[in-house]
Amino acid sequence: DGIKKSKYENILIMDGDLQHNPKYIYKMLKILFTKKMDIIVGARNFKEKNINKSLTFLRIGASKMLKLLINIFLGYKTSDPLSGYFIFRKKIFFRNKKRFYGYGYKILADFMYTDKSLKISEIKINFRKRVYGQSKMDLKVLMLFIEFFIKKNVKKFF
């Protein structure tokens, strides 16, 4: 609903738990405009020393495994297709909304793998320790993501 009601042409998606530092927004916008991209992803830097302070070992492992599977089976688009921090052009949403899977919390993957023509770039971000709330990544979300993954791949196999 927020995307639909926005009066602006570019939309920022950013988790509300303060793990994404707003200092990267200007850099993301600059790339969006200067390189004429459709989506700019704030990709978590898994090589960063402080990542272990912001994510558990299990969460890091699960994210890396899902990233690998996505990039192998759906095609590489970014080093962090599960990011909750990205800027995109609103017209992409309206052009593709009827084709989106639309369930779960990882909408970046829905954007990227619904429209193969998108121009996508990324910047590496330092992920901060969560200040509020807790991860929504649980068994239910994982099952929704597996269903998304299957639906996006079924055309390749049949």
pLDDT tens across 103-158, in order? 666 788 888 888 889 999 999 998 776 666 666 555 666 677 677 777 766 655 44
CA distances from residue 77 to 7, 21, 62, 67, 120 in whole angstroms, order as listed = 28, 22, 19, 10, 7
Sign of CA dihedral 54, 112, 86, 80: positive
* CB within 8 Å of 149: residues ≥ 6 apart: 69, 70, 73, 74
Least confident of 21-25, 43-47, 78-82, 115-119: 43-47
Q: What pLDDT, on a 0 to 100 scale, did the predictor assign at position 5?
A: 93
Say what the pLDDT of residue 6 is.
94
Mean pLDDT of the chain: 81
Mean pLDDT in residue range 11-32: 91
What per-residue confidence (pLDDT) applies to 132? 63
pLDDT at 18: 77
pLDDT score recorded for residue 49: 57
Name the band, by pLDDT with cuts 50, 70 and 90, for residue 15.
Answer: confident
Give the residue among 61, 155, 141 at the shortest CA–CA distance from 113.
155
Distances (CA, A) of 137 to 59, 86, 140: 9, 18, 8
